[in-house]
Chains A and B, each alone.
Chain A
Amino acid sequence: MHNKTITELAAGLRAKEFSSVELTRYYLERISRYDEQLNSYVTVCTDHALQQAEAADRAIAAGDAVSLTGIPLAQKDIFCTDGVKTSCGSRMLDNFIAPYDAGVVERCNGAGMVMLGKTNMDEFAMGSSNETSYYGPVHNPWDLDAVPGGSSGGSAAAVAARLAPVATGTDTGGSIRQPASLCGITGLKPTYGRVSRYGMIAFASSLDQGGVMARSAEDASLLLNVMAGFDERDSTSAEQPVPDYGATLNNSVAGLKIGLPKEYFAEGLSADVARAIESAVDEYRKLGAEVKEISLPNTNLAVPTYYVIAPAECSSNLSRFDGVRFGYRCDNPVDLEDLYKRSRGEGFGAEVKRRIMIGTYALSAGYYDAYYLKAQQLRHLISEDFARAFEEVDVIMGPTSPTVAFNLGEKSSDPVSMYLSDIYTIAVNLAGLPGMSIPAGFVDQRPVGLQIIGNYFDEARLLNVAHRFQQVTDWHTHAPQQFKD
């Protein structure tokens, strides 16, 4: 059951092979059996999920089911859920229950999906290893000593270990693609504006984008069909029509022009990862794609640019966590300043505080021009690199991350080395482009991810390109040994 894709699960539900309640119980049991080892869920919504499953079964019986009615999913704990705790991986929100659903949650509920629970994540989505969570790190299902990546590490681990058929994630600098890569699953970060940010707790508003984490491109296309679309409550949401992402999955990739940025295969990339990526690209050659080297000359500016813009926005976005109206409040504040200082000092973890301080500094009078304004100019140059590349090629490919999953604790005391694990994903957020990571092999029994970057609103093509690869390879079907049964 747990190896079935959501297409297969949906067919089974329609054919009454099993009910949504049975399917949901099945997954809830797997979670209770395995999640102690992984720590991928912050909250498991047993009662809530079974109620949704019952409603889904009624809809199926009444013939009112839509494509994903009754399919369980896990929501990253960054999406607000009416009546269910939304912690964002932080002590600050350990007591926070939103009185509203995020746009994404509303759409999943509206499609009859069943929320199994809320997944663990780096605190406020700041991290690449899931080690900054207030609820402790998530373990990689392929090797419990390894990190799952971050910040959507809980969703990635849950999907990889078959503790959820599919999950949501968010990606500000690689937070869907990097954990998808490290956990051997399929992750898609859509174009900025494709998925509503309403009710998704903001880290860096101009970069944040919700997306999907699944075991295959086909599954990803089904969930994206549900999540994508305009939301008038989000002014940055795109009023673009949403195609049926499943309709073009099987299009031929013969003649597809693939660009390999030479900067993505330079120093810093593990040789084993490079080999895995090259053989994946060879598969595309066999499918008739044309592969050429391209250049994204400002690639080296992406990480420093990101680490000005993202902290700057986060320093302002996180100001609302002040202990006044909701969330963590320190004990017995003596005055207002004490209330602020201790509530924030005690409520936030070290990485969040580091970024708030960097961002506050970057926006300060006298530094704004040198940092924030300069970073915005560089952001423009980085976007132009991609615009030029897409005049020549249809998609860009390369590694998602320079290495396979590293060990827990390995980089947690060295923020810069941690930041560099997102070196290939960050530029995509700065440009607002869609990007995917799909399984493309293993190095030392740890998964390698192939990144596919597309032009604006070209998610259908990304899914098509990924799906064709998954038709001729089986990397995406491998399950971690410990969680196979």
Chain B
Amino acid sequence: MEWEAVIGLEIHAQLATKSKIFSGAATAYGAEPNTQACAVDLGLPGVLPVLNREVVRMACMFGLAVDAEIGRRSVFARKNYFYPDLPKGYQISQYELPIVGKGKLIIELEDGTTKTIGVTRAHLEEDAGKSLHEDFHGMTGIDLNRAGTPLLEIVSEPDLRSAKEAVAYMKKIRSLVRYLEICDGNMQEGSFRCDANVSVRPKGESKFGTRAEIKNINSFRFVERAINFEIERQIDLLEGGGTVVQETRLYDSAKGETRSMRSKEEAMDYRYFPDPDLLPLHVDDAWLDEVRSSLPELPDAKKERFMFEYGLTAYDAAVLTSSRELADFYEAVEKSSGGETKLAANWVMGDFAAALNKDNLEIGACPVNAAMLGGLIQRIADNTISGKIAKQVFEAMWEGEGDADSIIEKKGLKQITDSGAIEQVIDEILAANPEQVKQYRAGKDKLLGFFVGQVMKATQGKANPGQLNELLKKKLNS
């Protein structure tokens, strides 16, 4: 039987605010345990939550960016359960009336087609603290620095049909929240993570199968592996005559498998009810218009513009707009190169991206800035250097040896475009290789490459390749 997977993601994006969602404590990552938790975060008696206005703005930005309805009246609710790192015994979240309603997002698939994925809702909530089981013999340590950190939980429709689609969707959301500068997207620190709801059904069937929820996956690679593992597991189960049970599962990245955490029967009753400490949140038109006008150009619009304005292919435009920094960098390079749109794209996506990758650097922290790369491209465009020499210049720039012009000057890499000078070298080479000249003239055309190589060797690669070819052919054929 042919099976079809049905996947929905719940993405938790940590909002990049300075202070927590309901208190004034800082949200910075990596501080000493319990140094960023105030009385409100500790859930001490009598303290009360006060909503951070900034999280509302950020949630609305996201809502507008996925074309969603913004909840004009949204309600914070308490999700009640006991856990040592949940100080109040409840998490403040949103339940029936979230701030962001139905929206949608377009993802690009590997075959170049696109697919629209529904966003069911996105709601605001506070994160819990951390339980530390190591370092405390027979006991558990609690770090409440993370307690009260603002999260936007983004819930997708079950529109995804493969692990690859799920990853594409998650990447797109990540790119979007980073464009909006509402989340740093740092998956290692847990600022961006997801739960995946996975089920399978016979292809053509319209009803959904029973789903399992895989909790807290924090890398794209793990999302793909966990979902694929889970799809296989469910298909094997069903083909073996078994049934899938509704449950929560954990992904073990070391073993590459998912395993059961708790079943539906053990599922907690969270006893949601509206939080009486927080009044319903009202968002008015004027404020929403303000937020709308503050939105940056979004990835899809930018990609369209890159194709139209710079004549780039859909693929190049998509790569260059995958992050705001990369897109901004490309535009700066293109400008300082004097409008060399194609060359700029090739260099940014090629040697530059490879160098970043190799040294594991961010654009802002790397040794070659946009003006330097643009300057290099100008020299290729005006024939001062060849593409091949340019690679050498780029490497020197990356090593901090200065800008393109000074490197070309210092190393004497300027291309030889004086035909007299090139002809002189050609004459010398032809004179030194009479046997090869004879063979060539006898019809062994392939030897042209040999002569080109010899001339380049003699000029240390500086002869203008086009001129060289032309002159060489003229000489040999005369």
- Give A residues with C-beta under 8 Å from B: 79-80, 86, 88, 93, 96, 98-100, 102, 197-202, 204-206, 232-236, 312-313, 315-316, 318-322, 324-326, 336, 340, 360, 363-365, 368, 372
The main secondary structure of chain B at its interface with chain A is: loop
Q: Which B residues touch A321, using CB under 8 A?
A: 45
Cα distance A325–B142 in the bound complex, in angstroms: 9
Shortest B275–chain A CB gap in Å is 8
Q: Is B47 on the interface with A (CB-CB < 8 A)?
A: yes
A316 & B46 in contact (Cβ 8 Å cutoff): no
30 contacts between A and B (CB under 8 A): A80-B46, A93-B45, A98-B44, A98-B45, A99-B39, A100-B44, A199-B46, A202-B46, A202-B277, A204-B276, A205-B276, A233-B50, A234-B48, A235-B279, A236-B277, A316-B89, A319-B80, A320-B43, A320-B88, A321-B45, A322-B84, A324-B84, A336-B84, A340-B82, A363-B80, A363-B273, A364-B269, A365-B271, A368-B273, A372-B273
The main secondary structure of chain A at its interface with chain B is: loop
Q: Which B residues touch A93, using CB under 8 A?
A: 45
Q: Which A residues touch B82, using CB under 8 A?
A: 319, 322, 340
Q: Which A residues touch B90, using CB under 8 A?
A: 316, 319
Shortest B378–chain A CB gap in Å is 57
A325 & B43 in contact (Cβ 8 Å cutoff): yes
Shortest B52–chain A CB gap in Å is 12
Shortest A309–chain B CB gap in Å is 9
Cα distance A164–B202 in the bound complex, in angstroms: 78
Q: Is B78 on the interface with A (CB-CB < 8 A)?
A: yes
Q: Give the residue name and chain of the B residue nearest to A336 (CB).
A: B84
Q: Is B28 on the interface with A (CB-CB < 8 A)?
A: no
Q: Which A residues touch B87, using CB under 8 A?
A: 320, 324-325
A363 & B271 in contact (Cβ 8 Å cutoff): yes
Shortest B216–chain A CB gap in Å is 20
B78 & A235 in contact (Cβ 8 Å cutoff): no
Cα distance A96–B43 in the bound complex, in angstroms: 13
A200 & B39 in contact (Cβ 8 Å cutoff): no
B46 & A102 in contact (Cβ 8 Å cutoff): yes
Shortest A336–chain B CB gap in Å is 7
Q: Mark B69-85, 1 if CB is under 8 A from A, else 0.
A: 00000000010101010
Q: Which B residues touch A233, using CB under 8 A?
A: 47-48, 50
B50 & A235 in contact (Cβ 8 Å cutoff): yes
Q: Give the residue name and chain of the B residue nearest to A318 (CB).
A: B89
A88 & B45 in contact (Cβ 8 Å cutoff): yes
A326 & B84 in contact (Cβ 8 Å cutoff): no
Given known A80-B45, A98-B45, A235-B48, contact A313–B80 (CB-CB < 8 A): no
Q: Which A residues touch B319, using CB under 8 A?
A: none
Q: Which B residues touch A316, using CB under 8 A?
A: 78, 80, 89-90, 271, 273
Cα distance A360–B271 in the bound complex, in angstroms: 8
A86 & B45 in contact (Cβ 8 Å cutoff): yes
Q: Is B49 on the interface with A (CB-CB < 8 A)?
A: yes
Cα distance A318–B272 in the bound complex, in angstroms: 15
* Partner pick for B45 among A201, A234, A313, A322, CB 8 A cutoff: A201
Q: Which B residues touch A360, using CB under 8 A?
A: 271
Q: Which B residues touch A99, using CB under 8 A?
A: 39, 44
B39 & A100 in contact (Cβ 8 Å cutoff): yes
Cα distance A102–B39 in the bound complex, in angstroms: 12
A sample of 14 more A-B contacts (CB under 8 A), given A236-B278, A320-B88, is: A80-B44, A88-B45, A199-B46, A232-B50, A235-B51, A315-B271, A316-B78, A318-B89, A320-B45, A321-B45, A324-B142, A325-B87, A326-B44, A340-B82
